[in-house]
Amino acid sequence: MAAEDPIPRTVEWRDGAVRLIDQRELPGRLQFLDCRTVDGLCEAISSLAVRGAPALGAAGAYGVALACRLDADAAGDGGRAASAATVARAAAEAADRLIATRPTAVNLAWGARRVLVAAEAAAAGAAAGAAGGGGAEAVARAALEEAERLAEQDVADNRALGRHGAALVPDGAQVLTHCNAGALATAGFGTALAVVRAAIDAGKRIQVIACETRPFLQGARLTAWELKKDRIPVTLITDNMAGHLMQRERVSCVIVGTDRTAANGDVANKIGTYPLAVLAHRHAIPFYVAAPLSSIDFACPNGDKIPIEERPVREVTHVLGRQIAPSGIRVLNPAFDVTPNELVTAIVTERGIARQPLGRTLRRLVEGAPAKPERKAEARRMRARRR
């Protein structure tokens, strides 16, 4: 793999706009989308032009910075002068709108709120006599600087996560993954695919099995595209082939990302992840989750409390614009499912690996203490699965 990532930044600030790779166009063409309004960015998020929890965190962060920039540059209705306070209010309004677009992905709210805090702190710090254009500019500048820091930190965290996870993947492994948890799902480098990339950088021979991931085909369209760009061997399968491959011992481990992980280690990820965890458990195959700490919601006690987004039914009844189901039928389209923590072998973060019991070891990682893997208990669980 080339030292420099061949995939451009998924989300970045460019010439006063939030520039995205328009993932709706892949794999047919690599096209960029410049969002110059908060409305435009909200639409891009809702329509999955940008998706993936860490990428949404960066998009939310840049979206709040965009709102600040727009309010500072264009004074608003009636030709009023922008002030630090009005820019901070614009930031708060934008954060609320952005967060509402995708309720399951905790990173979106995390990124938007982090920049909002920076904007409000800059507004509060503006001297009373500096209210006006100078104060407004300071708030806009602080918001953008915080968004840039968040995006850069995401890439660094993903690389660290990958290095930790690489130790879990044996040489010659066949890694099965679901949806897209690569560079396209982050500000750069990926989460689940970061583990694969880091293992290959360490000299291991790794092949990836990518589930197509109905209904939006992120595995077929995005993961396969990424891996081909990186020259990493990939085999595409339909979602219902995974059990057969596990039964035939053609899967070494499963590595997926997460849109929100609860405090107890329950994992919300793209719909279809839970059945893979059940199958992996049945066949004694390790099931790993790559989760930046920004994706772990310690305010959410368990998976039952994670809101599950319901997507438009057209995503199920149509494929690439062509109708494949009869009109007038009932359709369900939950975007995510929740994998219970007992089916998760380990959660890989930028600070290390959390093993069972996940609720305890995840908390240790956040607090800065090394997670103490209970390897004997884990070995007993793996032996029990084989019986």
Residues designated as active site: 259
Exposed/middle/buried for 144, CB within 10 Å: 0-12, 13-18, 19+?
buried
Neighbours of 198 (CB within 10 A): 25
Query: What sign has the CA pseudo-torsion 232, 277, 256, 168?
Result: negative
From 266, 253, 258, select the one nearest 358 (Cα to Cα).
Answer: 266
Neighbours of 297 (CB within 10 A): 18
Tell me the C-alpha distance between 223 and 239, whole Å. Answer: 14
Tell me the C-alpha distance between 40 and 38, whole Å. Answer: 5
Report the half-sphere exposure of 253 (CA within 13 A, side-chain side).
25
Q: What kind and span of H or E run contains 115?
A: helix 106-125
Q: How far apart are the first and last CA of the chain?
A: 40
328-350 burial, b for 16+ CB within 10 Å, e for fewer?
eeeeebebbbbbbbebbbbbbbb
Helix locations, 167-287, DSSP H: 192-201, 218, 224-229, 242-247, 273-282
Tell me the C-alpha distance between 41 and 39, whole Å. Answer: 5
